């Protein structure tokens, strides 16, 4: 039986961190064995809230290297750049005609950001049509399955409505894409705020053992544990929140040790270091091997883009025909 088609994208907003690994990448790696996967760098989407991206080619290259180093396999999944496939833009323009403005203005990801006239003056049209482009990303490959985080659900809902409308008005070309939610534990940054490269609080996939150690050293613990013999409260500690995810087999021991001052924060952080290093070391090793192959990313993208082009162009021929653009 043919495998179902699956499409997902990741915006090119900077180097990848543990949040991406847990939330998205480990999932993608599993899915590439079960589905006909298309994974792309959502380059245009990355521009919806910034005017330029410095040295974009390196940003893309590093992202693709990160993908490969966690185990995405170009022999299994199609890997490409959105910005190399004009069919995404063509379909987005067309689907925009089937998208009432109200749907986009009511979309929570837009509405919550654009509250007043001042932000209205700043926010781009690109931001408004973000869900339309995302619909096109998925539909141009006739994807049935779309792995996304919870924050993307409104976009998937909109995608189905837009495609339903097109299918009813023009021709039943597109399947209705279903989201595949990855239930991921919330991983906060080392300062207990949302993990983000721009806050400088992320643990990146590219950490060396030294930088990893430094970042763990900076992690906020229970402020009441001033001295070694002060008992602590694991439930207010960032290090413990990370242990919940990375050290589930020793949680009781750690919580108990913290509350009774049986272990110190230094010991506690050493355990976390070991766990994270255990996850990051194989990724680092694979990346070093990949970086020794010059032209690898270029070749992977070239092959991926050839394949993506084949599929996307076939869909667009159908669309152009159905609309009467082709005789």
Nearer to ligand SF4, 7 or 265 (CB): 265
Contacts of 107 (CB under 8 A, 6+ apart): 131, 154, 155, 158
Least CB distance to ligand SF4 at residue 206 (A): 24
Q: Is 42 in the site for ligand TRP (CB under 6 A)?
A: yes
| Contact residues: ligand SF4, CB under 6 A | 221-222, 225, 232, 234, 237, 239-240, 258, 263, 265, 268-269
| Shortest CB 271 distance to ligand SF4, Å | 8
* Binding partner of 11, given ligand TRP, ligand SF4, none, CB within 5-8 angstroms per partner class: ligand TRP
Q: Residue 112 phi/psi, 5° resolution?
A: -65, -25
> What size, in residues, is the chain?
327
**Beta bridge partner(s), residue 146:** 179
Which position among 36, 62, 66, 137 is part of the footprint of ligand TRP (CB under 6 A)? 137
Cα–Cα dist 71/51, whole Å: 32
Shortest Å, Cβ 144 to ligand TRP: 12
Outline where DSSP puts E strands in 59-164: 78-81, 145-148
Within 8 A by CB and 6+ apart from 96, the residues are: 129, 132
Pick the closest to residue 173 from 319, 39, 1 (CA basis).
Answer: 319
3-class DSSP state of 77: coil
Residues in contact with ligand TRP, counted by CB under 6 A, come to a total of: 12
Q: Which of 12, 32, 92, 152 binds ligand TRP (CB under 6 A)?
A: 152
Largest distance between two CA atoms of the chain:
82
Give the integer Cα–Cα distance in Å for 112 and 129. 15
Judged by CB under 6 A, does residue 5 bind ligand TRP?
Answer: no
Say whether residue 128 binds ligand TRP (CB under 6 A). Answer: no
Please report whether residue 8 would count as binding ligand TRP according to CB under 6 A. Answer: yes
What's the distance, Cα to Cα, between the start and end of the chain in Å?
35
Give the 3-state secondary structure of residue 228. Answer: coil
User: Among 7-15, 72-80, 121-129, 243-251, which window interacts with ligand TRP (CB under 6 A)?
Assistant: 7-15
Asked if 11 is part of the footprint of ligand TRP (rule: CB under 6 A), the reply reads yes
Question: From the list ligand TRP, ligand SF4, none, which binds 107 (C-beta under 5 to 8 Å, kind-based)?
Answer: none
Binding site for ligand TRP (CB under 6 A): 7-9, 11, 42, 45, 134, 137-138, 146, 148, 152
């Amino acid at each position: 039986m043919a495998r179902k088609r699956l499409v997902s994208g990741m915006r090119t907003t900077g180097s990848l961190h543990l949040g991406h690994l847990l939330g998205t990448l480990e999932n993608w790696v599993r899915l590439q064995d079960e589905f006909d996967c298309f994974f792309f760098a959502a380059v245009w989407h990355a521009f919806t809230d910034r005017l330029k991206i410095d040295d974009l080619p390196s940003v893309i290259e590093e992202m693709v290297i990160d993908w490969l180093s966690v185990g995405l396999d170009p022999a299994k999944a199609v890997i490409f750049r959105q910005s190399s496939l004009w069919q995404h833009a063509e379909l987005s323009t067309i689907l925009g005609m089937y998208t009432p403005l109200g749907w986009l203005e009511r979309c929570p990801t837009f509405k919550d950001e654009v509250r007043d006239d001042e932000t209205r003056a700043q926010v781009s049209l690109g931001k408004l049509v973000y869900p339309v482009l995302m619909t096109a990303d998925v539909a141009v490959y006739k994807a049935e399955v779309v792995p996304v985080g919870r924050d993307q659900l409104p976009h998937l809902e909109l995608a189905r409505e837009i495609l339903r409308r097109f299918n009813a008005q023009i021709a039943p070309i597109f399947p209705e894409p279903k989201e595949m939610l990855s239930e991921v534990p919330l991983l906060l940054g080392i300062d207990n705020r949302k993990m983000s490269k721009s806050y400088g609080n992320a643990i990146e996939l590219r950490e060396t053992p030294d930088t990893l150690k430094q970042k763990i050293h900076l992690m906020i613990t229970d402020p009441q544990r001033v001295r070694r013999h002060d008992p602590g409260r694991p439930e207010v500690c960032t290090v413990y929140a990370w242990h919940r995810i990375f050290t589930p087999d020793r949680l009781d021991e750690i919580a108990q040790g913290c509350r009774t001052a049986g272990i110190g924060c230094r010991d506690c952080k050493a355990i976390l270091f070991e766990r994270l290093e255990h996850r990051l070391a194989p990724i680092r090793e694979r990346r070093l091997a990949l970086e020794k192959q010059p032209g690898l990313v270029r070749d992977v993208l070239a092959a991926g883009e050839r394949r993506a082009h084949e599929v996307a162009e076939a869909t667009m021929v159908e669309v152009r025909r159905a609309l009467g653009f082709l005789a």
